[in-house]
């Protein structure tokens, strides 16, 4: 009777966890996982047909948690890909070379859109490139980037990067926000390109992913080749690499300055004698704070 009770308890335990297993035709384990109320729960593993681990996930109530790992082919046991999951479904991705050295890493949204600062390495593990992605109209957009030589120095050629600086990140009500764009490295390096900055006009603004871009009335700011008023402040600089821009606010609070930088040049006239503009867009989203007064403000 005691033996019967033990066996019955064991059967109840297995049933609660509902362990599932699948096998290859050669009898080797292919998959193993557990279900709880019809949803994946706990460890999930898949194997190659020689028994080597292929991938591993961790689930809680059908949702991936912790880290997922994917392994190279059945003859190489090194990790190929690792995803660290966050509560919102986004994950941090790390991909590796077959020798185990990291190849690239960065953040991916739960919509499979790469965003933020991504790092790329050579097969010796040295950082050779950084790319900055933005979610633009629900697509991953390569916004900026720069490369490094073997010594770790930033390369000018093969990069595209701008620096945007606010004169102040906190301003008084009815005081203009002022900022400067400096093109550290141009995209069209063999052309005499110029720059413009575009903001939403008045109190309107772009959405976070610029999905309303086609509906926005634009306020345009030109580089110093056309903006002669600000030339006197930057006499020793390349005027085609600098744009000064600003905006007014009539309400207090946090404001998100969204806009984009256009680097452009005019192509040769076509057969119809029309001018075609080639451009490269860099989007930006900068917070600024508007207050009734600014503490310790000694400006006039």
pLDDT digits (tens, 9 = 90+) for 34-55: 999 899 999 999 999 999 999 9
Domain boundary among 160, 188, 222: 160
Number of domains the chain is built from: 2
Are 170 and 274 in the same domain?
Answer: yes
The predicted model gives 156-160 an average pLDDT of 65
**pLDDT tens column, 75-110:** 888 999 999 999 999 999 999 999 999 999 999 999
Confidence band for 9, pLDDT divided at 50, 70 and 90? very low
Cβ-contact 162, 261 below 8 angstroms: yes
Largest CA distance in the chain: 99
Is 300 contained in some domain? no
pTM value > 0.85: no
How much is the pLDDT for 158? Answer: 61
Are 53 and 172 in the same domain?
Answer: no
């Amino acid at each position: 009777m005691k033996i019967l009770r033990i066996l019955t308890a064991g059967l109840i335990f297995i049933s609660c966890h509902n362990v599932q297993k699948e096998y290859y035709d050669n009898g080797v384990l292919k998959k193993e996982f557990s279900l709880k109320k019809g949803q994946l729960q706990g460890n999930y593993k898949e194997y190659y047909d020689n028994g080597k681990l292929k991938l591993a996930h961790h689930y809680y109530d059908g949702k991936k948690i912790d880290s997922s790992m994917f392994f190279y082919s059945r003859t190489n046991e090194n990790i190929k890909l690792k995803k660290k999951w966050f509560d919102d479904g986004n994950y941090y991705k790390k991909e590796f070379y077959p020798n185990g050295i990291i190849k690239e890493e960065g953040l991916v949204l739960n919509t499979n859109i790469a965003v933020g600062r991504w790092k790329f390495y050579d097969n010796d593990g040295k950082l050779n490139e950084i790319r900055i992605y933005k979610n633009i109209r629900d697509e991953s957009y390569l916004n900026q980037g720069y490369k490094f030589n073997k010594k770790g120095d930033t390369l000018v050629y093969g990069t595209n990067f701008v620096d945007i600086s606010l004169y102040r990140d906190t301003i008084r009500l009815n005081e203009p926000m002022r900022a400067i764009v400096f093109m550290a490295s141009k995209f069209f390096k063999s052309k005499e390109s110029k720059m413009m900055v575009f903001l939403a006009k008045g109190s309107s603004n772009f959405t976070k992913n610029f999905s309303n871009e086609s509906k926005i009335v634009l306020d345009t700011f030109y580089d110093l080749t056309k903006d002669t008023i600000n030339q006197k402040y930057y006499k020793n600089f390349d005027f085609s690499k600098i744009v000064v821009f600003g905006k007014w606010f009539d309400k207090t609070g946090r404001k998100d300055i969204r806009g984009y930088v256009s680097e452009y040049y005019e192509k040769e006239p076509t057969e119809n004698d029309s001018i075609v503009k080639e451009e490269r867009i860099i989007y930006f989203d900068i917070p600024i704070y508007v207050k009734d007064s600014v503490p310790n403000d000694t400006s006039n």
